[in-house]
Amino acid sequence: MNVIIVGASGYSGAELAKLVVAHPKLTLAGLFVSEQSLDKGKLLSDLYPQYVGVIDVPLQPLTSDAMSYIQQQADYVCLCTEHKVSVDLAPLFLDMGKKVFDLSGGFRLANNQDYQTYYGFTHENEALLNQAAYGLAEWNSDAIEKAQLVAVAGCYPTAALNALKPLVNAGLVSEQKIIINAVSGVSGAGRKANISTGFCEVSLKPYGLFNHRHSPEIERYLGHKVLFTPHLGNFPRGILETIYVDLKPGVTEQQVNDAYQCLADQPLIRLLGNKIPSINGVVNQAFVDIGWQQQGQSLIVMSAIDNLLKGAAGQALQCINISMGLSAAYTLVGAHHE
């Protein structure tokens, strides 16, 4: 399949380009950026020197000629663009008959009101929200395989949902809000220059209290209320979430352990039991590491991912694999992505 990446100069786009190039059943058919981008005309390897001799592919502006090329050449279009840009571009590629994998938040939420509240814009293609399959690979493969538009799950929600859905689905969780304390590396903020994410400015601190856009995404696909607080960490990549769950009275450790067995055969999920996951355990890997410890009705669940791999490009590739009828983890298991 021929894959086009739009927004390829960002961290997730570049990561996805690397994965596509390494995939024996995919061809990287083009990398595109906006017509206004300062990166247009450069090689991806000019921006990311680790790709010299590997991905010496030009970043082309998304002109009308580029759109014609995509219509003729592409099978899959991956959008690594800002949320509003994805909302505008996705219908154009869908009308061409392309399957679209959107790595932004443009199609993850339920309605326009959510987008006004959490993203700050009016969603011009609300009808597509019902058509988009949520790209949480381990949990929604049938819908991903059939859909023309896949809304690849967010990074924080990927860590949270894989850690919590087994418990909620097994009916083990009380009605109390689940508290999610999450920390992400600076690459999660994107590549654009911003003083708050500059090397000398970054300090561990919370942000988006009570109103972060991943809160409604987690609640929608978990079916349970959460109190989600993200933090910016002073490290490049990775996410670690510490999650506080109030269990129903009488829930045993065995019941909790049994609930997680629904993920035991998933090749990119590593169930650590009472061991504590870490950022170092998942950086440059496509895994979700999940650990948990229980004391009475209190359960602490810990979940770690690489935000650019399992939290973005790796999960997009899982969705592509599913669409092709391959194992979701094809080319991802055991691979170390420097």
Active-site positions read 155
Cα 336 off chain centre by: 18
Task: Read off φ and ψ for residue 305, nearest 5 degrees.
Answer: -140, 165
The token pair at 2 is 């021929």
- Nearest alpha-carbon partner for 177 in 138, 218, 136, 207: 218
**Alpha carbons 12 and 82: distance in angstroms, whole number:** 11
- Please report which helix (H) or strand (E) contains residue 255, including its range: helix 253-260
Rg from Cα positions in the chain: 19
Residue 310 DSSP one-character state: I
Reduce the DSSP state of residue 135 to 3 states and report it.
strand
Q: Tell me the torsion sign for CA atoms 274, 268, 139, 13.
A: positive
Task: Read off φ and ψ for residue 231, nearest 5 degrees.
Answer: -130, 145
DSSP string over 71-124: HHH-SEEEE-S-HHHHHHHHHHHHHTT-EEEE-SSTTSSSSHHHHHHHTSS--T
**Alpha carbons 297 and 173: distance in angstroms, whole number:** 9
Asked if 13 contacts 82 with a C-beta cutoff of 8 angstroms, the reply is: no
Amino acid, res. 153: A
